[in-house]
Structure 1
């Protein structure tokens, strides 16, 4: 036993052979040489091949490759290029001057999947675009589903650029991107955005912040944004969530929208809205399939408040706008664009440079009726179903109280049914039909006036301050033309207005009858009122010419009978009013009055050439009575004197 232990001890103490030492030295030298000479660039080829195979895109590393080994291995590389979809004209989808990628090794080896917890990029460029069939280049693999896309979690960007191109929609956007500090260690850093380009062929700029660009590939997870964009004078501020933002499939945003003129929304969104003063709105902006909703928005247009809900339906052949709008205080001239006229621009009115220039031209024009033609292309480009209710109307020159309008537009056929106004304690109810399906618009208008208070019609006139009476009537006209002036200038139809019993300033009647003595007496003492028995005007309209069939004003003091015409085509007046005072004033001139001039500059003068020629007038003044069609529209009042006119002594 002792001999055995002694032999083992001698074996263990035996020095290694020369051969063993040589082999050990060679192995150590080989390891040192490998350590000194090893270059990770040897693995660029296999790595490029692996990524290319997994994504079905070409991947190249033109710079150096360096690796820190571990369970999560860090790969550093320079001058990276990642290929684009086969259908794209641009060969590169993504590039970076420098990149660091953390790659999980075990999934890469055993599951053959690329899992990248974090990417750090310096001066990256990412090009996102949609193909001819609407497929995005961010969708990897062939149509048969081959190829497994890599999985990303975080991305850090320094001096990056994002470009989005959609040739079908004439859209090309470039945005500079930089990462913000992450909210937590597990969250993907958000980014700041600044750039612009073309949206639907309209130049615009954008700035703000958004979630990590990696979230763009997740079409089911909401993508949060807070962006401000401007296209000319139109500005938008969107904040909230998008789902599949490049298809704009679904989103839920707060959207503030403002601009100088709502007419500018047509090239941006296809909304054919007439010219307006500056506007601003804020509301909830959502999309559900092909339905876009602007819910519970509030704001102003010019000097009017406006709120409600608007829906844009893009599922049909034409865009459909449906809206339910309300205004608590509507400045009436803010609607001037709907008739082709500019809103007022003076006296503190909200306006813009373009509308101020239009208002200046309108003020210098000798005509009153708007002659700006309607845009037939716009009228045919979309459909609409819009309801607008105004509780109070601001119109200093018009005694308007409220408004209820319902506009329908379908394939160029526009209907306002109804277009109702509360006016001077009464109302004006209208139905208007404009057919723009042909080159020349054909218009039909039915207007009913009921119970308009004479005193309230002219609230600022001293001579009508104490006037009492209710005015009613009917207007039925049809015309052709592409502007308000052209439509009225070609109009045919009937216009009839009348008033029953009431009262009016005696001074006004004396001035109308040119009774100088009576007029001076009331001017020097005190005006008083006298009863009105009736007043009416009945016109036949033929090719824009209104011819008086019956025109009279009868009071206990004076009776006036008129004749003549009003030309809507050239806006001229040609009326002869024959006043005959019923009293015996020795200074009563009893001269006819000539109403001439234009709508903008009317003229009232006595016709002294006809002074004393009263025979024909006397015959005409013996009896007058309103046309039968007017009797149902005016409040004639009870009593023996309610009949208009009647016989009297000459």
Structure 2
């Protein structure tokens, strides 16, 4: 019967099993140990090994001054408080980075294959300091000796997402006088969107760029992308340094080395001269400007390509390249202005632009213009900065297709080629289209020593008289071409001081042509003829020639030959033009060739200054003629007219010289 009884199942046997007293004690001890371990376990026991591992990997001391904790589950969350990483030995700042708290979400299963996959890293108040060394050791972000071969094997760790809360990034480059203090905060995704590995960070900061204070704001790609130095890092930034503003959108490759980038750059400011402390480019003073182009850098070569915009009231476009590989930056540019406002060139001469109602100028230039307006002097006296002329080399070609010059409407276009090397500047050529002709110049300035040594050769060719006098009604129907040569050599650091010390020659002349008879009669003060032409109709008279020849010595121009010869009148002159005090002292002697009563044969005096010239008869001579007329009139009234009766003794001047063309 017992043999036929059914066998018991394993579960039934387990229920019938009763542990011995000894086994119960062991089992209870194991359970108690597990409970105690669970209650007493402290993850801080692992701080020491973790700190030693991180310190060995970076070559820097790494410490966790707060608690280390781990939450186990489908995702393991490791958190640590008050972390710090020591700086490079050469830095004067002890810490490279600190964080109030760091949380890392880790996928557990890759750990079985000895791989670390960090699903997300959250950093609360991280503070990172990046510095470049002054002795060429590189940056403090280079760990170890920086000379080990890169590990080409697939990394055994991966970080998928990075989130920054109230972060701070400081960057210092002492050799470039650059320091940045930037706040960073990850931008929250829009409603319904998940956090993205590439979530951008909002950026705001201040500091100095090459010694100039500036402010910065915008967005940048996730700092996680900085780990890949070969992948372009995208930014959208708006920076201001004083009145200079730059808006950049594009990519940087290895941004902390700042060697390769491709940015759309909008640049604006009150004066191009302000870029000197920011970029080291010694540009001349200018009115307010606004430019837009593509800024690229590849190592030592910077390029601002396809830019266009305005400088003052002039349009400007072209390409600029700066090579910083040499002892001095090499600035190369091809520039084009379809319409150039002439007064925007004033900065090249050390003068401010015009500041009228329709003119563009910054406050400093307006103040300078007001000062110059109150000054009795006309020539620009602002000194050139020799340090800037020696700060870089340059090769610039600038063409202007049309020039707007209301006060000088005869100026038509410009072609200028500027070469600057080793402190020696050459404008060759500096050509202006003027009144249907050309003013061609070659100017050399040697700024290697003070004062600047300047030589100028100017050729005037084919200027048309009616275009020179286009705004004068009396010039209608005039004809003739003006030419000549000017050679000057002076020393000084401004236009005014260069001319004040100048030596050389000035010669201008005109061959045959025509001009208003009224002008000639007024020059001879022929009252009767002038009234006749004013009341009836003016006519044109032939010009045989006109010329002015001056020798220049120590800033004083002294006439050697001065004449204007027409069929009606010959005017001969003499005198000086003082480039030091800007004064005029010329005596013109009109000699009418026709017979006319009421003709006053008094010389005409040109005096005053460049800024306020005067043109008047010699009143002493007029007084004498008047006395003679009064005496004769007391005898016989008709005879009184004899004193003003002009017999026309003027002789034709010799017009066969170099100016008769």
Q: How does the TM-score come out when normalised to structure 2?
A: 0.90
1:417, 1:431 within 8 Å by CA — same for their partners in 2?
yes
Specify the alignment match of 1:280 in structure 2. Answer: 290
Specify the alignment match of 1:232 in structure 2. Answer: 242
Matched, 1:630 2:659: yes
Query: CA shift at 1:269, angstroms?
Result: 0.8
2:545, 2:659 within 8 Å by CA — same for their partners in 1?
no
Once residues 8 and 24 of structure 2 are traced to their aligned partners in structure 1, the CA distance between those partners, rounded to angstroms, is 21
Aligned to 2:365, the other structure's residue is in SS state helix
Query: CA shift at 1:64, angstroms?
Result: 2.1
Query: CA shift at 1:106, angstroms?
Result: 7.2
Does the C-alpha gap of structure 1 residues 14 and 237 become closer, same or farther in structure 2, counting only changes over 3 Å?
closer
Once residues 620 and 30 of structure 1 are traced to their aligned partners in structure 2, the CA distance between those partners, rounded to angstroms, is 138
Match of 1:566 among 574, 577, 584: 577
Does the C-alpha gap of structure 1 residues 265 and 11 become closer, same or farther in structure 2, counting only changes over 3 Å?
closer
Specify the alignment match of 1:169 in structure 2. Answer: 176
Aligned to 1:599, the other structure's residue is in SS state coil
Deviates more, 1:214-223 or 1:371-380: 214-223
Once residues 605 and 14 of structure 1 are traced to their aligned partners in structure 2, the CA distance between those partners, rounded to angstroms, is 140
Once residues 523 and 493 of structure 1 are traced to their aligned partners in structure 2, the CA distance between those partners, rounded to angstroms, is 42
Matched, 1:492 2:521: no
Matched, 1:345 2:355: yes
Q: How many residues align?
A: 629
Give matches, 1:84-103, under 5 Å. Answer: 84-103=87-106
Deviates more, 1:89-98 or 1:372-381: 89-98
Matched, 1:390 2:373: no
Does the C-alpha gap of structure 1 residues 408 and 108 become closer, same or farther in structure 2, counting only changes over 3 Å?
farther
Once residues 17 and 530 of structure 2 are traced to their aligned partners in structure 1, the CA distance between those partners, rounded to angstroms, is 150
Once residues 153 and 531 of structure 1 are traced to their aligned partners in structure 2, the CA distance between those partners, rounded to angstroms, is 91
Structure 2 gaps of 5+ residues are 626-642
Q: Deviations over 1:14-54 (max 9, x none)?
A: 42212112221221121112122222222222222222222
Aligned CA RMSD, in angstroms, stands at 2.6
Once residues 656 and 111 of structure 2 are traced to their aligned partners in structure 1, the CA distance between those partners, rounded to angstroms, is 97
Query: CA shift at 1:135, angstroms?
Result: 1.3
Matched, 1:267 2:272: no
Matched, 1:404 2:433: no
Once residues 121 and 23 of structure 1 are traced to their aligned partners in structure 2, the CA distance between those partners, rounded to angstroms, is 46
Q: Deviations over 1:367-387 (max 9, x none)?
A: 111111111111111111001
Q: Deviations over 1:309-343 (max 9, x none)?
A: 00111011111110000000100100101011111
Query: CA shift at 1:520, angstroms?
Result: 1.3
Q: Deviations over 1:118-158 (max 9, x none)?
A: 21011111111112325122222333539989754431001
Query: CA shift at 1:172, angstroms?
Result: 1.2
Give matches, 1:136-155, under 5 Å. Answer: 136-145=139-148, 152-155=159-162
Matched, 1:37 2:40: yes
1:141, 1:147 within 8 Å by CA — same for their partners in 2?
no
Specify the alignment match of 1:641 in structure 2. Answer: none
Give matches, 1:219-618, under 5 Å. Answer: 219-398=229-408, 399-610=410-621
Once residues 408 and 172 of structure 1 are traced to their aligned partners in structure 2, the CA distance between those partners, rounded to angstroms, is 34
2:104, 2:120 within 8 Å by CA — same for their partners in 1?
yes
Deviates more, 1:522-531 or 1:121-130: 522-531
Aligned to 2:479, the other structure's residue is in SS state coil
Query: CA shift at 1:525, angstroms?
Result: 2.3
Once residues 83 and 151 of structure 1 are traced to their aligned partners in structure 2, the CA distance between those partners, rounded to angstroms, is 24
Does the C-alpha gap of structure 1 residues 382 and 311 become closer, same or farther in structure 2, counting only changes over 3 Å?
same
Once residues 11 and 395 of structure 1 are traced to their aligned partners in structure 2, the CA distance between those partners, rounded to angstroms, is 115
1:56, 1:147 within 8 Å by CA — same for their partners in 2?
no
Does the C-alpha gap of structure 1 residues 14 and 323 become closer, same or farther in structure 2, counting only changes over 3 Å?
closer
Specify the alignment match of 1:24 in structure 2. Answer: 27
Q: Deviations over 1:168-203 (max 9, x none)?
A: 222111111000246866633210100110111111
Aligned to 1:591, the other structure's residue is in SS state coil
Q: Deviations over 1:436-462 (max 9, x none)?
A: 111111111111111111121132222
Matched, 1:48 2:77: no
Query: CA shift at 1:56, angstroms?
Result: 2.3
2:570, 2:652 within 8 Å by CA — same for their partners in 1?
no
Matched, 1:119 2:121: yes
Once residues 582 and 304 of structure 1 are traced to their aligned partners in structure 2, the CA distance between those partners, rounded to angstroms, is 50
Match of 2:202 among 188, 192, 203: 192
Query: CA shift at 1:7, angstroms?
Result: 10
1:561, 1:620 within 8 Å by CA — same for their partners in 2?
no
Aligned to 1:628, the other structure's residue is in SS state coil
Q: Deviations over 1:525-549 (max 9, x none)?
A: 2322222121111111111111111
Matched, 1:73 2:76: yes
2:569, 2:650 within 8 Å by CA — same for their partners in 1?
no
Does the C-alpha gap of structure 1 residues 488 and 265 become closer, same or farther in structure 2, counting only changes over 3 Å?
same
Does the C-alpha gap of structure 1 residues 362 and 179 become closer, same or farther in structure 2, counting only changes over 3 Å?
same
1:510, 1:519 within 8 Å by CA — same for their partners in 2?
yes
2:273, 2:286 within 8 Å by CA — same for their partners in 1?
yes
Structure 1 gaps of 5+ residues are 636-650
Query: CA shift at 1:403, angstroms?
Result: 0.2
Does the C-alpha gap of structure 1 residues 372 and 409 become closer, same or farther in structure 2, counting only changes over 3 Å?
same
Q: How does the TM-score come out when normalised to structure 1?
A: 0.92
Once residues 649 and 416 of structure 2 are traced to their aligned partners in structure 1, the CA distance between those partners, rounded to angstroms, is 43
Query: CA shift at 1:89, angstroms?
Result: 1.9
1:83, 1:91 within 8 Å by CA — same for their partners in 2?
yes
Query: CA shift at 1:71, angstroms?
Result: 7.5
Aligned to 2:161, the other structure's residue is in SS state strand
Query: CA shift at 1:288, angstroms?
Result: 1.6
